[in-house]
Structure 1
């Protein structure tokens, strides 16, 4: 874990750099100057040299889309490969911070540089803000040496990029890493077609929770258009309304036309095990893939990275079952 000598600070917007407007807090440019001024007030910190890059326009992370994930990944690649940076710090809004961290975990497979993401619950400069603590804490972690791969830094903690979720809004300690049963990824090596250098294309995905009374029409509506993949949030260990023939038929029809269907548990500490209940077995028979103990953020990001790489449905099914970076937790 060598110390970073040159870090790319990539600013995407978010609460950390927001300014007050007549309509409320809004993303603002010019954060580099504020960062430099604040660093001068903290001469005792051991920080890496850094260069600043801003994705324009800066956005509220509530407006984050998968196309932004691709732009962030491209900026990171440029910083590392062309500008000589050996580490990256992404400044990001907290609403979708865990989604971006998970997606980047798969879009940057094989990148031999640490990538940290951080943000804040309150804007920099506001009394009681966590902005500078999170930002300079992340830079300090990179200076001290961080492992290659994607992680979140929040409230004095490093969190697994593909296992983290935002759990609250009232506390500065808003993120947590969800439990895992093992601590090392099962995959051995990164397949060339999933390497971070390979181009990705945007694909349309959907997420749908099961709930008492869900109808086949609602499922078909979620799968309308050019949706290529669906993350279905099932009950408990991967069950659902298995006595609804029309709902099961809608799933089977989507699978037959090439839509990749992924099942995860709605429970934060849940784990899909289709064979445990007959209700789960019937869902699996419709073509659903077992998401193990993956989070919603990880399942969505992984599906995006696999389908965006141009893999066939069969190839996606194979690699979705492989633990690529510690995401599956089974």
Structure 2
């Protein structure tokens, strides 16, 4: 751990910087001036130099796309390698903050600086807002010293970037790390093609929850939609309709066509362990790879990083099953 000396603040939009418009709250530029004004008014003097950059366009995070993640990655890498910054603070909307934290966790593998994300449930300046408390807490954490990697600071808590999820639509402590079973095997090293400075490209992904009544033709339509990977949210420890032969055949055919099939549990806590039940073993045999105790956000971010790096399906499956940054193992 080391204290940050030269902080890069990346303002992406989100509630924290929103102002009222005729159509409702919307992201607004000029947050650097507001932040400097707050620091002066509150008598806070950061122990480090800092510079703020606004992403263009500023986003309500409900509009977040893979291209925006790649733009964030590029801005962060440039700030560190060209600008000499040794810490990063990302200001982000709450709707997709946990998805971005997970994606950046895998897009920035090997980057030896702390990256902290924060935002707020109410805009800065609104009565009773949590914005300045979250921002101030994040700045204090970076000033004290942080380990490298991606984390989230929100509601007085510091959370792992590849384990965090949003649990509440209104509460100030709306983010948490659900208790997922994490007993995965850590990768001995990060391959060069997965490091932060390697090219990436967008990936076509889909999420399909299993539910009573899901028809094989419905699932087959998703599998044949041109996706490169499908994340199945299974029951319990990784079970599904094992007596539906047509559904199992649709999965098997998709895997033979080169679609990566990954499985996580629908449960808030726990993990996928296929061999507990025959209903899980049949899904594994159809071509699914276990996501262990990963959250939806972590699994999607990892699939995006692996396939976006150009790995073939077999290589992507191998790395998906190994812990890269704490998403699968404590």
Query: Quick check: TM above 0.5?
Result: yes
Please say if 1:26 is aligned against 2:21: no
Describe how 1:196-235 pairs up with structure 2 within 5 A. Answer: 196-235=196-235
Query: RMSD of the alignment, in Å?
Result: 1.5
CA distance in 2, matches of 1:94, 1:45: 27
CA distance in 1, matches of 2:93, 2:258: 34
User: What is the number of residues matched between the two proteins?
Assistant: 330
Whether the aligned pair in 2 keeps the contact of 1:185 and 1:324 (CA below 8 Å) is no
Describe how 1:69-218 pairs up with structure 2 within 5 A. Answer: 69-181=69-181, 186-218=186-218
Q: SS of the residue aligned with 1:34?
A: helix
Comparing 234-243 and 220-229, the one that deviates more: 220-229
Q: SS of the residue aligned with 1:270?
A: coil
The residue number in structure 1 matching 2:15 is 15
Offset at residue 47 of structure 1 (A): 4.2
The residue number in structure 2 matching 1:318 is 318
* Deviations, residues 225-246 of structure 1 (Å, cap 9, x unaligned): 3310111000000001111111
Whether the aligned pair in 1 keeps the contact of 2:182 and 2:292 (CA below 8 Å) is no
The residue number in structure 2 matching 1:38 is 38
Change in 2 beyond 3 A, CA 1:155/1:183: farther
Change in 2 beyond 3 A, CA 1:207/1:181: closer
- Unaligned 5+ segments in structure 2 are none
TM-score when normalising by structure 2: 0.97
CA distance in 1, matches of 2:39, 2:69: 28
Whether the aligned pair in 1 keeps the contact of 2:183 and 2:328 (CA below 8 Å) is no
Offset at residue 179 of structure 1 (A): 2.2
Whether the aligned pair in 1 keeps the contact of 2:209 and 2:266 (CA below 8 Å) is yes
Whether the aligned pair in 2 keeps the contact of 1:294 and 1:329 (CA below 8 Å) is no
Offset at residue 46 of structure 1 (A): 3.8
Whether the aligned pair in 1 keeps the contact of 2:182 and 2:293 (CA below 8 Å) is no
Offset at residue 31 of structure 1 (A): 0.9
The residue number in structure 2 matching 1:241 is 241
CA distance in 2, matches of 1:123, 1:13: 11
Q: SS of the residue aligned with 2:233?
A: strand
Offset at residue 224 of structure 1 (A): 3.5
Offset at residue 181 of structure 1 (A): 5.0
CA distance in 2, matches of 1:99, 1:322: 20
Offset at residue 221 of structure 1 (A): 2.5
Q: SS of the residue aligned with 1:11?
A: strand
Whether the aligned pair in 2 keeps the contact of 1:185 and 1:326 (CA below 8 Å) is no
CA distance in 1, matches of 2:125, 2:43: 18
Q: SS of the residue aligned with 1:227?
A: coil
CA distance in 2, matches of 1:28, 1:217: 45
CA distance in 2, matches of 1:202, 1:44: 41
* Deviations, residues 190-209 of structure 1 (Å, cap 9, x unaligned): 11111111111111100110
* Deviations, residues 226-273 of structure 1 (Å, cap 9, x unaligned): 310111000000001111111111111110100100000000112111
CA distance in 2, matches of 1:181, 1:283: 20
Offset at residue 218 of structure 1 (A): 1.8
TM-score when normalising by structure 1: 0.97
Q: SS of the residue aligned with 1:41?
A: helix
CA distance in 2, matches of 1:170, 1:308: 34
Change in 2 beyond 3 A, CA 1:121/1:272: same
- Unaligned 5+ segments in structure 1 are none
Offset at residue 27 of structure 1 (A): 1.1
The residue number in structure 1 matching 2:305 is 305
Whether the aligned pair in 2 keeps the contact of 1:17 and 1:28 (CA below 8 Å) is yes
CA distance in 1, matches of 2:22, 2:185: 48
Whether the aligned pair in 2 keeps the contact of 1:179 and 1:329 (CA below 8 Å) is no
Change in 2 beyond 3 A, CA 1:316/1:135: same
CA distance in 1, matches of 2:145, 2:278: 49
